[in-house]
């Protein structure tokens, strides 16, 4: 037998288990046939073939990888490695201030600009790009929710967003989808971050091309352009990741507060007795007295 049922691997040759099987009554079969169709044909096929992972993509993945690889190559060119993790492994770099930068800059004013910019690029290589990739993977639903429910994920952000949309429609007459979309702003950066990434790649090529035997002839104009490009890429990725996180956590807060106050939407007689005579604050008693929420 093929199909979804075959996935159960029920042993029809086992007299113990098979002996307990009974046909559904005609009334039950009729009732089940009246149920709405649970799966479209493509959904049934995907369930059988286990193709659920093909549904979602991260629209920011390619841009983020471009930024990371550019930053990583810049760091490898500019810093003295502390250690290498085995054959073909990634190098790690000193976190001290500028003492581990191995490039000498010959033009006036360039050294201070580039030292600060290169430290920014090292942070971009080690933390900023990785954090942004994880964040956009989560809100794109290409990785599972797992255990961290304080950070936005597609499933939880959609769930909280729907609830907040209902709430704010009634409280503030909000008639758009911003209560849902606010946790996903990083996904809409393709054009902006793509332009910033192209500028960063271009000026990094200029920087790398200026180096001969660890000595750079980079001009001050190009150094400032390098610094500005690195800062735009890094700050944009960090800012939007944090904006999404803040929005999501604010959505959680609203739903938590809603759950606190909505418990009084229907108050039974015994609950009202306890609140009015023993456990309720005067503020709660006044509010309930002025509300038609007694069940």
pLDDT, tens digit (0-9, with 9 covering 90-100), for 37-88: 988 988 888 888 886 667 899 999 999 999 999 999 999 899 876 544 444 4
* Helix, strand, coil abundance in the chain, percent, nearest 5: 65, 5, 30
| C-alpha to C-alpha distance for 68 and 173, rounded to whole angstroms | 42
* DSSP reduced 3-state for 294: strand
180 has pLDDT over 70: yes
Closest CA to 100 of 122, 85, 84: 122
Question: Facing residues of 81 across strands?
Answer: 93
Of the given ranges (33-37, 65-69, 182-186), which has the lowest mean pLDDT?
Answer: 33-37
Q: Give 295's Cβ-side CA count (13 Å radius).
A: 8
- What one-character DSSP code corresponds to residue 203? H
DSSP H/E element including 83: strand 81-84
Closest CA to 188 of 228, 236, 148, 150: 236
| C-alpha to C-alpha distance for 73 and 60, rounded to whole angstroms | 20
- What are the sequence ranges of the domains in the chain? 5-54, 61-262, 263-295
Closest CA to 181 of 168, 196, 194: 168
292 has pLDDT over 80: no
List, in sequence order, every beta strand (DSSP E) within 107-258: 211-212, 215-216
pLDDT, tens digit (0-9, with 9 covering 90-100), for 219-233: 999 999 999 999 999
178 or 19: which leads in pLDDT: 178
268 or 2: which leads in pLDDT: 268
**HEC readout, 216-236:** ECCCHHHHHHHHHHHHHHHHH
With a CB cutoff of 8 Å and minimum separation 6, the contacts of 106 are 215, 216, 217
Q: For residue 88, what pLDDT is reported?
A: 44
Count of CB atoms situated within 10 Å of the CB of 92: 13
């Amino acid at each position: 037998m093929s199909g979804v049922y075959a996935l159960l691997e029920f042993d029809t040759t086992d007299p113990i288990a098979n002996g307990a099987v009974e046909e559904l009554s005609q009334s039950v079969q009729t009732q089940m046939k009246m149920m709405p169709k649970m799966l479209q044909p493509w959904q049934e096929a995907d369930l059988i073939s286990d193709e659920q992972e093909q549904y979602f993509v991260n629209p920011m993945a390619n841009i983020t990888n471009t930024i990371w690889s550019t930053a990583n190559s810049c760091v490898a060119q500019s810093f003295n490695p502390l250690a290498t993790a085995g054959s073909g492994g990634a190098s790690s770099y000193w976190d001290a201030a500028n003492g581990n930068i191995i490039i000498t800059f010959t033009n006036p004013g360039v050294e201070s600009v580039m030292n600060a910019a290169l430290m920014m690029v090292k942070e971009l290589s080690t933390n900023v790009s990785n954090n942004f990739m994880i964040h956009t993977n989560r809100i794109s639903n290409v990785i599972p929710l797992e255990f961290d429910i304080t950070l936005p994920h597609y499933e939880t952000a959609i769930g909280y967003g729907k609830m907040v949309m209902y709430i704010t429609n009634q409280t503030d007459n909000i008639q758009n989808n911003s209560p849902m979309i606010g946790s996903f702003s990083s996904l809409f950066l393709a054009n902006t971050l793509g332009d910033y990434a192209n500028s960063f790649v271009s000026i990094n090529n200029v920087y790398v091309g200026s180096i001969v035997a660890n000595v750079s002839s980079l001009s001050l104009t190009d150094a400032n352009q390098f610094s500005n490009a690195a800062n735009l890429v890094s700050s944009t990725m960090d800012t939007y990741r944090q904006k999404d996180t803040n929005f999501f956590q604010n959505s959680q807060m609203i739903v938590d507060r809603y759950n606190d106050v909505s418990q009084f939407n229907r108050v039974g007689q015994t609950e009202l007795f306890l609140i009015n005579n023993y456990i309720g604050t005067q503020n709660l008693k006044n509010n309930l007295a002025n509300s038609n929420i007694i069940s």
